[in-house]
Structure 1
Amino acid sequence: MTPVLLSARSVAQLLRHWRSGSDAAAYEALADAVRVLVIDGRIPHGARLPAERGLATAIGVSRTTVANAYARLREDGYLTSLRGSGSVIRLPLEGRPDPEHLAGVVPDDLLDLRKAALRSAPGVAEAVERAMRHLPAALAGIGYDTVGDAGLRAAIADRYTARGLPTTAAEVIVTVGAQHAIALLARVLVRRGDPVLVESPTYPHAHEVLREAGGRLVSVPVDVRGGWDEGVLDATIRRSAPTLAYVMPELHNPTGATMADSTRRVLLEAAAAVGTVVVADETMGELRIDGLAARPLAADAPGQVVMVGSAAKVFWGGLRIGWVRAAPELLQRLLIARPTGDLGTPVLDQLVARELVPQTAAVLEARRHVLRDGRDGLVAALRARLPEWDVPSPAGGLTLWVGLGRPVSSALVLAARSEGVVLASGGVFGPDGGFERSLRVPFAVSGPDRERLVEALARSWERVGGAVVETRGSAAAVV
């Protein structure tokens, strides 16, 4: 397979702040910055870097600086030279995912906070036991299920109805998690070259699959306090006429923002005017701590908005159950396309979810107290220990989108790793790069882990303008 060639311009865009937070020699700082991009997944394994002269011109350094940086990356195992293919990125042996661990889990002595998730909710084990009673009936079938268990789809529909969006089981299909749902929608709705609207920042694996489907991403900013700029949102949709708009209107990941009613109207009216299908991802949407939850976005435009949901954040990440709520005509298109990617959702997981979904309201109420304690504790600790940071207190979700005040997110993440804490840098969440002034910090951690996290960040903050930071680690998923 021919390696993907990265243009000098695109790499220079990713390297806009490569000298920030480092007083190392230029070639060392450049090599460090490229390693960060590889570890974060912003430069993929197997990609071909631009020629030395082209990158040197694009970032304003000498060719010697780039040549020495490339040489250091080769020494460290992040770059290899292939005849006819130039300099190709690869993950060094110690950076590759361990085949015995999913997603390249870091060593046990490190606190891994790349994934924003809760431990299993109370009652999951009991739900597994109850689900096993239905197993004999399930075993009478062949087990390939692309539509979803009828009882689970009815339970999901009932949950939407209770939240103000009348829904029947015929308007729901069950997927292997929300990410699978997003990828399936992208494959069916997006053609190569189609404009696709995304938020910036946004959930990284969503914009990745939209790009892989051939979408040309058009982004609109989301601010941690101000939310969506309605004028920019309206103008961007009407000007670009996107085929699909992927949004997180309730407890946006990573900022925690929630769309105002007026913003929802602007989005839906502009999308209707140009024929855009709106996909509303509610993966984080029900984890509200303060105030009342808004109605699902589709309640304001049932035939125009596709809803994506998940059991992972509410119940447990190991329960790989997601769903799509849409008009039956679109669901039929998804079901026709689905077998080329997978042959159905695991039956046992569906039986467990069928027991849990009717308990969603009670589980969320119990989660609310845990989330409030985690959020308030971490916000107070960070504000006290790092008063120069802008630390918001979101109304819900699982993370803080912290403002650092300086473009040093990647350097800070690398320093924190050497202090025993693994985070994802702000740039991971930017569909067009950037966000080096921001850091996503999950707050659903125990008291001892919170103390460890804050102290590690404080020590790392003291270092980001000083010594060169070692860059070792594995690339992995972010959720």
Structure 2
Amino acid sequence: MSDARYVSGLQLARLLGELPAERPFYAALAAGVRTLIRDGRLPLGVRLPAERDLASALSVSRTTVTSAYDSLREDGYVSSRQGAGSWTTLPPVTLSPLPATPSFTADPGPAMLPDAIDLGCAAPAAPAVFTEAVEAAVRELPRYTCVAGYEPAGLPVLRAAIADRYTQRGLPTRPEEIIVTTGGQQACDLLIRTLVGRGDSVMLERPTYPHVLTALRNRGARLVPVGVADGWDLDLVAAGMRQTAIRLGYFIPDFQNPTGHLMSEPDRIALVEAARAAQTQLISDETFSELGIDEPVPSPVAAYDTGGRVISVGSASKLFWGGLRIGWIRASVPLIRKLASAREPLDIASPVLEQLITAELFQRLEEVRAERSARLAASRDALVEALRTRLPDWRFTVPSGGMSLWVRLPSPVATAFCEVALRRGVRVVPGPVFGADGVLEDAVRVPYVLRPDVMREAVERMATAYAEAENLPAARSVPACV
């Protein structure tokens, strides 16, 4: 078994919800567990409850549970060992080669058609005020050119602007508690390098941000995923933290990437309490926090923390522009100093001009937020309407903000579909890219960052590609740019 986690009968019954009243019932029970494993809500390597416990929780006979477990073992979704119990697995996959399928890469290159629609990256173009902000920053730049220009913690003017924004959102912050990084991705990587050692247990969501998965694997961390396909189950999060001695937890509470879920205030409180009880440090990735469309975002997770346990990560990429490559970390002053020293061998400091541009954009924050909200709402609504019309069997929850839909397919053909879609002129990222262990083949992420008319055309191409993909063998290559 891959880790020491287990799920109780009551917890599994809650995850299963109301099962179809079909006969034989064991088949419905086995199908429900298979679905939980495939979509990531039930992690791999988790010990299942004893047959008697699950039978009691479901108010069924033990024979029914035994038959369901036998069916799951035959299909490869459960493994058992005498005296050790049963735990979740995935069946082996035999892949057949696809005919002349292009590989996904960070740079689509010649594989993309000339009129291709790229939904591989959830990132918008720069806002209307961007040119004005650049001009203002250039006028400010001569004030900084008389010195070396290296500020490992970031320019004071930008640190102050970021700190003020946290304070406005309900988390009092001083500039000394901020370090500016070269993008949010570097912020996460710097924290992982500083806080995680080889073999340390790190809890993260499934699905989650793929580049953090890569950073944790490179560090040799032991990954402990918790499913969030349908939202956060804080009871399971707390149980996982207790059972596996989690050193660090990485969560995306604000319009989670890729699902778009927004963590409620009670769940934020419960997450901090679970981390406190388990002596776990938390990274709260708030890259999408300013992108509410239908409802405001609660206060940052760190606002519910009194012990310095929560570290906040932010980025200018989604709200302002990805080309700025400016991110930041909010943490205790001692940790900020440690991070500033740790980043010096990597890149010394972030570029001065980009920091000045970001500081100027913070002064126009509400204007940028209003523009982003209006454009994202129009594109999101166009995408939703087109999907419901052309692909009515695809399932999704409309997010109240963020930049993407997490779409569940009727069949587990996500990778094959994305390969075909690329040939049909639309680039989409399949679910397994966002998971640590090969599940999520029934999901794709569809960002709504392009114009409404482009989103409608993308759905037309996806509908054609999906009809073809259902008849193809499984694909093997996956996209790197997300």
**Aligned with 1:123 (options 129, 135, 141):** 129
What is residue 47 of structure 1 aligned with on the other side?
none
| Aligned-residue offset at 1:362 | 2.3
Which residue in 2 is equivalent to 1:306? 311
1:329 aligns with 2:334: yes
Aligned to 1:414: 419
**Structure 2 SS opposite 1:156:** helix
* Matched residue, 1:273: 277
Alignment match of 2:261 (pick from 257, 272, 276): 257
**Aligned residues of 2:415 and 2:474 also touching (Cα < 8 A):** no
Matches within 5 A, 1:285-296: 285-296=289-300
> Paired residue for 1:25?
none
Judge conservation of contact 1:379–1:392 (CA < 8 Å) in 2. Answer: no
Aligned position for 1:348? 353
Give the Å deviation of 1:210.
1.6
Q: Which structure 2 residues correspond to residues 94-173 of structure 1 after superposition, within 5 A?
A: 103-105=107-109, 107=112, 108-173=114-179
Gap change, CA 1:105 and 1:175, over 3 Å in 2: farther
Q: Report whether the alignment pairs 1:215 with 2:200.
A: no
- What does 1:368-379 align with in structure 2 at a 5 Å threshold? 368-379=373-384
What is the CA distance between 1:380 and its match in structure 2? 1.0
Find the partner of 1:319 among 315, 321, 324: 324
Amino acid at match of 2:285: D
- Asked if structure 1 preserves the Cα contact closer than 8 Å seen for 2:415 and 2:478, the reply is no
> Which residue is 1:201 aligned to?
207
By how many angstroms is 1:470 displaced? Answer: 9.2
Post-superposition offset of 1:443: 1.2
1:181 corresponds to: 187
Per the alignment, residue 22 of structure 1 pairs with none
The TM-score normalised by the length of structure 2 is 0.77
Aligned partners of 1:155 and 1:60: how far apart in 2?
51
Q: Which moved more, 1:368-377 or 1:458-467?
A: 458-467
Aligned residue identity for 1:315: F
Of the three residues 465, 470, 473, the one matched with 1:465 is 470
Partners of 2:154 and 2:179 within 8 A in 1: yes
Displacement after TM superposition at 1:321 (Å): 0.4
Distance 1:146 1:104 in 2: 34
Q: Alignment RMSD, CA only?
A: 2.4
- TM-score normalised to the size of structure 1? 0.77
Aligned to 1:434: 439
State the distance in 2 between where 1:456 and 1:104 align.
Answer: 17
1-side partners of 2:342 and 2:368: how far apart? 34
State the shift of 1:162 in Å: 0.6
Residue identity in the other structure for 1:244: L
Letter of the structure 2 residue corresponding to residue 334 of structure 1: L
Shift of the alpha carbon at 1:357? 1.3
Q: Tell me if the contact between 1:382 and 1:391 (Cα under 8 Å) persists in the aligned partners.
A: no
Q: In the alignment, which residue of structure 1 is the partner of 2:371?
A: 366
Q: Which of 215, 231, 237 pairs up with 2:241?
A: 237
Counterpart-to-counterpart distance in 2, 1:105 and 1:124: 28
Structure 1 outlier segments of 4+, above 6 Å: 468-471
- Do the aligned residues in 2 keep the contact of 1:111 with 1:421 (CA within 8 Å)? yes
Q: Is the 8 A contact 1:252 1:285 kept in 2?
A: no
**Helix, strand or coil for the counterpart of 1:134?**
helix
Residue by residue over 1:230-278, the C-alpha shift from the partner in whole angstroms, topping out at 9 and shown as x without a partner, is 2111100111121110001111111111112222222111211222111
Matched residues in 1 for 2:301 and 2:198: separation? 27
Aligned CA distance change for structure 1 residues 152 and 382 (closer, same or farther; 3 Å): same
The one-letter code matched in structure 2 to 1:349 is E
Number of aligned residue pairs: give it: 391
Q: What is the one-letter code of the residue matched to 2:119?
A: L
Unaligned runs of 5+ in 2: 1-36, 39-90
Distance 1:237 1:399 in 2: 29
Q: Residue type of the partner of 2:403?
A: L
Q: Which runs of structure 2 are paired with 1:381-396 in the superposition (5 Å)?
A: 381-396=386-401
- Give 1:104 deviation, angstroms: 4.7
The structural deviation recorded for 1:143 is 2.1
Q: Which residue of 1 aligns with 2:449?
A: 444
Structure 1 residue 474: deviation in Å?
Answer: 8.8
User: Aligned partner of 2:291: which letter?
Assistant: L
- The 3-state SS of whatever aligns with 2:429 is coil
User: Sequence identity of aligned pairs in percent?
Assistant: 42
- SS at 1:191's partner residue? coil
Contact 1:145–1:343 under 8 Å retained in 2:
yes
Find the aligned partners of 2:257 and 2:178 in 1 and give their Cα distance.
24
Residues 1:189 and 1:139: Cα distance change in structure 2 (over 3 Å):
same
Unaligned 5+ segments in structure 1 are: 1-15, 18-57, 79-93
Deviating more after overlay: 259-268 vs 369-378: 259-268
Q: Pick closer, same or farther for the CA change 1:105–1:266 going to 2, 3 Å.
A: farther
Q: Is the 8 A contact 1:415 1:469 kept in 2?
A: no
